[in-house]
Amino acid sequence: MLYAMLAYHDESDVQSWSEDADADLMAQLQIVHERQDAAGQLGPAARLGATANAVTVRAKGVVVDGPFAETKEALLGLYVLDVADMDAAIAEARAIQAVNPSAVYEIRPIVFFRPGKAIPLSDFGLADVRTQRA
C-alpha cells in the first residue's frame, strides 16, 4: 500500500537554522532514507521552498501571491513539474485547472528533490475511495 507523507514544520524555526545545522539534519535524514531504500519503502521526496515564494492558482486561473489554498477541499494529490520558471509552472497549473476547474493549485519551488526508486502502483484504487464515502 502506498501512502503520501506530508511534512509540516514551523517555517520560521527552519529558516533560523545555520547552514551547518541544516546540513546535519539532511545527513541524519539520509541515514533514515538509506534504511527505507534498503527495505524498498521510499519513493521520491522533496523539500519545498519558503511559503513567501509560493503562488496559488484559483478559479478561472486567477493567480494570487502566497501559499495556502484556504479552501474547504482537502489535499487530493500532488504534481512535480520540471519547468523553466514560476511562469511556466503557473501555465501548467492553469492547463490542469482547465480540466478540473473546481480545484485550487498551490505552487511552491522545490529546493531539494530526491528521486528515490520506482514504487509499485497502490493496491488502494479509486473504487476504494468511492466505497469509503458511501
User: The whole model's pTM is what?
Assistant: 0.68
Which candidate, 95, 97, 92, 49, places its Cα nearest to that of 73?
A: 97
Give the mean pLDDT of the chain: 79
Q: What is the pLDDT of residue 9?
A: 81
The pLDDT, as a whole number, for residue 130 is: 45
Q: What confidence score (pLDDT) does residue 1 get?
A: 60
Predicted confidence at residue 101, as pLDDT, reads 77
Residue 93 is predicted with a pLDDT of: 87
Confidence at residue 125, expressed as pLDDT on a 0 to 100 scale: 56
Distance CA 114, CA 31 (A): 14
Q: Which CATH class is domain 11-119?
A: alpha beta
User: How far is C-alpha 71 from the chain's CA centre?
Assistant: 17
What number of other Cβ atoms are within 10 A of residue 125's Cβ?
A: 10
Other CB atoms within 10 Å distance of the CB of residue 56: 21
Residues of the chain with pLDDT under 70: 1, 67-76, 120-134
Residues 6+ apart with CB under 8 A from 63: 55, 56, 57, 90
Cα dihedral 6, 10, 16, 17 in deg (nearest 10): -40
pLDDT of residue 75: 66
If DSSP codes are grouped into helix, strand and coil, which group holds residue 10? Answer: coil
- Cβ atoms of 106 and 68 closer than 8 Å: yes
